[in-house]
């Protein structure tokens, strides 16, 4: 397993060693000892998730105010542009983001430690996305930073308007999400006009 730190040093890009021949291929997608060594400390995963999304779907940027989840993410069909954003106010990389293309062909994985926000944009006709989490999903503590927040300035590789859920379209600004005492609020302030125009799930 080749492990590369990103511009946010504790966000790690993992690339497995693939063994292939005329029969097909084999690779070790997860090894606890190897992963713990890469992360620099023992990491316990408690939940595995699997989602499927169509082209142009943008999910995120999600985080939990309590029971924050570390995520080890990969794609097993299609491809996505995967983003981790550092929203930890005491972090030296606060406000920075990293974006990596994860595909079924490149077999890359991204480790996003607890406390960061995460999202992805589907680049292919569809994509199947797998991720392991270090804590359980807690919907009462789930929050979202809006995809086009100017405080983050994420450069999404958009070919058309993104397809969003209503919840994600109404996400918080980075400033509101990290303001002391406001992280439990679901009322977003106004953010920059979403350009290109947003399509909502269910729109024709």
- The catalytically annotated residue of 50, 62, 136, 137 is 62
User: Is 50 in the active site?
Assistant: no
Q: String of b and e for 60-88 (b: at least 16 CB within 10 Å)?
A: bbbbbeeebbbbbbbbeebbbbbbbbbbb
User: Is 137 in the active site?
Assistant: no
- Chain-centroid distance of CA 9 in Å reads 16
- Chain-centroid distance of CA 85 in Å reads 8
Q: What is the distance between the alpha carbons of residues 151 and 162, in angstroms, rounded to a whole number?
A: 19
- The catalytically annotated residue of 131, 136, 137, 141 is 131
**C-beta of residue 108 within 8 angstroms of C-beta of residue 100:** yes
Query: Residues with catalytic annotation?
Result: 62, 131
């Amino acid at each position: 397993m080749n492990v590369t730190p990103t511009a946010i040093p504790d966000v790690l890009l993992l690339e497995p060693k693939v063994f292939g021949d005329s029969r097909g291929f084999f690779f070790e997608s997860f090894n606890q000892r190897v992963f713990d060594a890469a992360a620099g400390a023992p990491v316990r995963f408690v939940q595995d998730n699997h989602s499927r999304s169509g082209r142009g779907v943008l999910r995120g940027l999600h985080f939990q105010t309590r029971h924050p989840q570390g995520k080890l993410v990969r794609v097993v069909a299609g491809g996505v542009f995967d983003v981790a954003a550092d929203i930890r106010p005491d972090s030296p990389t606060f406000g920075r983001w990293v974006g990596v293309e994860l595909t079924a062909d490149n077999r890359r994985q991204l480790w996003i430690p607890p406390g960061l926000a995460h999202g992805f944009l589907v680049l292919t006709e569809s994509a199947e996305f797998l991720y392991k989490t270090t804590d359980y999903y807690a919907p009462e503590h789930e929050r979202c930073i809006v995809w086009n927040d100017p405080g983050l300035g994420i450069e999404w590789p958009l070919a058309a308007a993104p397809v969003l859920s209503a919840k994600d379209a109404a996400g918080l600004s980075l400033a509101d999400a990290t303001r002391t005492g406001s992280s439990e609020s679901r009322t977003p302030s106004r953010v920059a006009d979403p350009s290109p125009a947003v399509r909502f799930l269910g729109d024709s």
